[in-house]
């Protein structure tokens, strides 16, 4: 017993355990979300979706898929850059996983309590682009490269208004730490930034939400993997477990941006009803359910809307979101001056 205690007290072991903790959520979540997306899309389209595997509403379909992907032959194109090709899916996943380090799941748990949390999040989630470019270029496929170029252009562009929207919140709170931002939204749900400080932070939320869709390549901004245009975009040549890593990273990323949206605008782990059902354990519950709400919203949009064209995508970014984000920041600044 004491030896276990000693091992846990070792700072390196402790750090490793803390770092692995989000995996406890991401892996089951990804399996669930994949199943959930299939069910959501199916019910929106007058279908039932998977119904057989595992009995109740095909609940174990994703697990079966995972096993299939694990057993599948790992195909590597002969003329690819083998090293980069094999590495790329992990780089993509690392990019999205690293973001979880600063996400406050509850008042008691955040992977790394650093005081520039949101800045770190913005910076590290760009790492995904590197992995995507790496995988696409190394697979030696023109369609993949096409998708990756689109992806790079899109993610890099949409980061700017997204970050400006985040900046509005940071200005209001006066801190880059995500825990501080959550604590600033204490009380009932009308204290959440999306409702409070109306309308500036509501506009900021809309801008951030649109940009987050673009960052995770979801419809209507899914042009990097536009199936009907680019076959499968940057992961055309991947199969088996490496493909699954891309998939996992995509879903991990979806939750990461949702988590940040929740943290910034929807009170993070705060209960919507003041002190009712609050506390660290309930905090996890509120945080995850709000996050899943956003996941559902993303799915809803995906199965409803068509896809934008690449120039329209850029138009929306540079000519619509950017000016709004800038003006919004100016107004937040003015409002802050007046309020104080």
Interface contacts to another protein, rule CB under 8 A: 41, 44-47, 142-143, 146, 219-220, 222-223, 226-229, 231, 303-312
Least distance from another protein to the Cβ atom of residue 60, Å? 24
The answer to whether residues 34 and 65 touch, using CB atoms and an 8 Å cutoff, is yes
What residues contact 119, with CB distance under 8 A and at least 6 apart?
176
Least distance from another protein to the Cβ atom of residue 40, Å? 11
Between 19 and 310, CB nearer to another protein: 310
Between 82 and 309, CB nearer to another protein: 309
Least distance from another protein to the Cβ atom of residue 44, Å? 6
> How far is the C-alpha of 18 from the C-alpha of 22, rounded, in Å?
8
Strand partners, 188: 273
Strand partners, 330: none
Least distance from another protein to the Cβ atom of residue 92, Å? 22
CA torsion 90-96-102-103 (nearest 10°) is: -130
Instruction: Give the SS3 label for residue 104.
Output: strand
Between 303 and 331, CB nearer to another protein: 303
In residues, how long is the chain? 340
Least distance from another protein to the Cβ atom of residue 224, Å? 12
Least distance from another protein to the Cβ atom of residue 255, Å? 22
Least distance from another protein to the Cβ atom of residue 141, Å? 10
Of the candidates 78, 230, 250, 79, the one whose C-alpha atom is nearest the C-alpha of residue 145 is: 230
The answer to whether residues 25 and 288 touch, using CB atoms and an 8 Å cutoff, is yes
> How far is the C-alpha of 192 from the C-alpha of 292, rounded, in Å?
18
Least distance from another protein to the Cβ atom of residue 142, Å? 5
Between 48 and 281, CB nearer to another protein: 48
Between 9 and 228, CB nearer to another protein: 228
Least distance from another protein to the Cβ atom of residue 42, Å? 9
From residue 326, how far is each of 16, 76, 337 by CA, in Å?
Answer: 40, 45, 17
Neighbours of 72 (CB within 10 A): 14
Two tokens at 31? 């399996």
Tell me the CB-side half-sphere exposure of residue 183, using CA atoms within 13 A.
10
> How far is the C-alpha of 271 from the C-alpha of 322, rounded, in Å?
33
- 22 φψ region: left (φ > 0), alpha (ψ -120 to 50), beta (else): alpha
Please give the distance of CA 237 from its chain centroid, rounded to a whole number: 24
């Amino acid at each position: 017993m004491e030896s276990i205690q000693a091992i846990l007290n070792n700072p390196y072991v402790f750090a490793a355990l803390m770092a692995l903790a989000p995996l406890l959520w991401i892996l089951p979540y990804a399996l669930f979300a994949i199943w959930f997306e299939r069910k959501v899309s199916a019910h929106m389209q007058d279908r039932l979706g998977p119904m057989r595997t595992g009995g109740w509403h095909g609940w174990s379909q994703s697990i079966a898929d995972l096993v299939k992907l694990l057993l599948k032959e790992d195909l590597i194109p002969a003329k690819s850059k083998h090293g980069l090709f094999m590495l790329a899916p992990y780089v993509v996943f690392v990019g999205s996983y690293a973001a979880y380090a600063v996400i406050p799941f509850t008042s008691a748990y955040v992977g790394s309590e650093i005081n520039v949390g949101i800045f770190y999040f913005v910076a590290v989630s760009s790492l995904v682009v590197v992995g995507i470019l790496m995988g696409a270029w190394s697979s030696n496929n023109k369609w993949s490269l096409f998708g990756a170029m689109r992806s790079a252009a899109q993610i890099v562009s949409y980061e700017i208004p997204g970050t400006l929207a985040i900046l509005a919140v940071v200005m209001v709170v006066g801190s880059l730490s995500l825990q501080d931002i959550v604590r600033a939204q204490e009380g009932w749900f009308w204290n959440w930034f999306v409702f409070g400080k109306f309308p500036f932070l509501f506009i900021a939320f809309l801008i951030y939400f649109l940009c987050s869709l673009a960052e995770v390549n979801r419809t209507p901004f899914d042009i990097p993997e536009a199936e009907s245009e680019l076959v499968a975009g940057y992961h055309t040549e991947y199969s088996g477990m490496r493909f699954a890593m891309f998939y996992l990273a995509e879903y991990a990323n979806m939750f990461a941006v949702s988590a940040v949206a929740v943290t910034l605008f929807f009170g993070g782990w705060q209960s919507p009803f003041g002190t009712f059902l609050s506390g660290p354990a309930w905090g996890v519950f509120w945080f995850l359910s709000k996050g899943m709400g956003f996941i559902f919203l993303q799915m809803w949009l995906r199965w409803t809307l068509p896809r934008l064209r690449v120039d329209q995508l850029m138009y929306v970014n540079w000519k619509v979101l950017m000016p709004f984000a800038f003006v919004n920041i100016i107004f937040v600044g003015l409002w802050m001056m007046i309020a104080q």
